[in-house]
A and B are shown apart, each in its own frame.
Chain A
């Protein structure tokens, strides 16, 4: 048998692949960062929220939910929406500063919400998914 040293081209290929892969990951990472800016925000456990919202007061979470119904709105208060998050329905308050945002039933948003003292989920930020 002939013994021999691996070929240099294979190593390069491998290195390139690794680099590409890494680049790809970085790209993906950055791309994701550009498409999910709230990714660092913890996801809301809706069940936990429903079971015991009092312990979550002041926390900020993100959740992806579908607009179900406009419950109420006011010029100063904003809009109170019923959204479906998974199998559960919760109410979220979209403050007035987001008034320019057209929110319609069936739309899916990623909300960053804060649990208020009264247990209501108040939207801090949102992007359409």
Chain B
């Protein structure tokens, strides 16, 4: 809390210094990093002793360091604490405000003058009444014992005044004494000389000189005392003045404007009008005179304090109006500005909490928006931005809107590249695009979703490819054909695999046609023909369970034919061509259209009569 008060005070002083800065036309520092600009113009009053405020950039430069006033954590924290505090409208607070108002009313300059004209004594009584209220006000926590400090200073000033009067009285007495001594000395010095013998005359002269010495000595002592008393009186008054002025300046710098007014009015009541000039250092005098255009006097501070009260009162009215119009952004800025000035004033302390919460909510959301943008969480930023746009009539942050739009556009571009790369199997490009999208907007929901989907698809794809390889090795073409959709998708990025899959699918399609043909023959009762169709297919196609099953069934149905052929083949393999030929003839006898039998007969006939011709 103390740090916040100090910072706020520094800001207040810096604001005053900034007035000089602006009037002198000096340039603001180059950046916010505490580096001062080129040349001596960038230095403030007393070098870097006093802080200097640069309104354009809202920078406060002090002792070589610069920071942004509106972005100062201490100030922000103090203001935020204020926004969370309840309004000070308790009975105690209201009573304190009433007492302070009464003190100010009693000390009002206009009333003083009117009262003085009407009754010279009344101003004194008003002063006494106001003085009596000071300890009463000091009892309240909000007063921070400042009214006590004012009361002490007033009392000291009065005591100094009384001391001066006593010293003046003493000096008057001393003055009487001095006059008497001077008379006696003059009388003694002007006594005529007697005609006496020289010895006696000489003795008389020396006696007269001896009588003059103590008179002269005493006269010198009295004069010295007078001077000392005068100096004492001047010094005590000066001391009291200086201390009082120091208190006034202290209250003013501390933004205790009500107390400043009370102190200045007490001061002007105690000290004469000509003694209002502030006896401060030359630089501070210049600070005040150039800021206000007036000589640095107590009246000037009185005027500034009064101006601050007026400014705060009007500012609060403006804030209330803006809040009523829904312009929370402007209301927040105005409230922050007048808070820096009038933190301790009743208008600020009694500002309704419900209204302050609206401002607080706005500031918190803008801070969250800034944080989200900094963290590149543009989803959250957009959400907050939309909320502010909807609920705060005068909210406008084009930089945030641009940043969000730019981020969305960039991410969509990268994601589109990633999707395309995934489709074409360009994994390197896909990963690069996803990484770039993540750099722009790390927490974009689509990035995680797409990446997860791509990786899942890649995983599924890889598993499908592995399964396809396995089935190909097993020559389980029927299973491949049954799940051809999955395998077609898996081999989309692999031309070799795709070609092999296509070959397998064509084979299976042909096999299905053969099975269909066999089925048709069987339906017509031509089991031998159906068997022969499948027998030929078995030689052309890899092992197929369906084919084997149907073939087995047909073997049973066309048993004689199949048996004859088997016998013929068996005998042929043994070299029994004649017998084999006979069996082929038998098979052909059973199933005349048999191609196997016809080929067997032809083949064996050629073997038996190699040089023969077939009819």
Contacts and interface: CB of A to CB of B under 8 A. Distances in A.
Interface string A88-128: 11110100000000000000000000011011110000000
A90 B588 CA distance: 11
B613 interface: yes
A76 interface: yes
B216 interface: no
* Most A Cβ at <10 Å: residue of B574, B585, B614: B585
A91 B588 CA distance: 13
A113 to B, nearest CB: 10
30 contacts: A50-B582, A50-B583, A50-B586, A53-B578, A53-B582, A70-B615, A71-B601, A71-B605, A72-B605, A72-B606, A73-B613, A73-B615, A74-B612, A75-B611, A77-B610, A77-B611, A78-B609, A82-B585, A88-B586, A89-B589, A90-B582, A91-B578, A91-B581, A91-B585, A93-B608, A118-B578, A119-B578, A119-B580, A120-B579, A120-B581
B615 to A, nearest CB: 5
B571 interface: yes
A118 B606 CA distance: 14
Contacts of A80: 605, 608-609, 612
Nearest to A73: B612
B576 A54 contact: yes
Contacts of A78: 609
B590 to A, nearest CB: 10
Given A71-B601, A89-B589, A93-B578, 4 more contacts: A72-B613, A77-B612, A90-B582, A93-B608
B609 A116 contact: no
B577 interface: yes
Contact of A119 (B577, B589, B605, B614): B577
Chain B: interface secondary structure? Answer: helix
Given A82-B585, A88-B586, A74 B611 contact: yes
B326 to A, nearest CB: 111
Contacts of A50: 567, 579, 582-583, 586
Contacts of A54: 574, 576, 579
A116 B582 CA distance: 13
Of the four ranges (under 10, 10 to 19, 20 to 34, 35 or more), the interface on chain A belongs to 20 to 34
A72 B578 contact: no
B445 interface: no
Contacts of B613: 72-74
Contacts of A115: 578
A119 B568 CA distance: 12
Nearest to B601: A71
B56 interface: no
A54 B580 CA distance: 11
Interface in B177-208: none
A12 to B, nearest CB: 58
Contact of A120 (B578, B606, B612): B578
A120 B571 CA distance: 11
B575 interface: yes
A120 B585 contact: no
Contacts of A53: 571, 576, 578-579, 582
Contact of B571 (A74, A90, A119): A119
A49 interface: yes
A89 B564 CA distance: 12
A116 B585 contact: no
A26 B574 CA distance: 48
A87 to B, nearest CB: 9
B589 to A, nearest CB: 5
Closest 10 pairs (CB-CB, A-B)? A120-B578, A119-B579, A74-B612, A119-B578, A53-B579, A72-B612, A119-B576, A72-B605, A89-B585, A77-B609
Interface in B213-264: none
Contacts of B585: 82, 89-91
A83 B575 CA distance: 21
Contacts of A82: 585, 601
Contacts of A73: 609, 612-613, 615
A70 B576 CA distance: 20
B576 A72 contact: no
Interface in B546-578: 567, 571, 574-578
Contacts of B571: 53, 119
B582 A91 contact: yes
Contacts of B601: 71, 82
Contacts of B614: 71-72
A74 B381 CA distance: 101
Nearest to A70: B615
* Most A Cβ at <10 Å: residue of B606, B609, B611, B613: B609
B586 A49 contact: no
Contacts of A74: 609, 611-613
B440 to A, nearest CB: 86
A71 B575 CA distance: 19
A79 to B, nearest CB: 8
Given A80-B605, A119-B571, A72 B615 contact: yes
Interface in A47-89: 49-50, 53-54, 70-78, 80, 82, 88-89
Contacts of B583: 50
Contacts of A76: 611
Interface string A24-60: 0000000000000000000000000110011000000
Contacts of B588: 89
A63 to B, nearest CB: 12
Interface in B585-610: 585-586, 588-589, 601, 605-606, 608-610
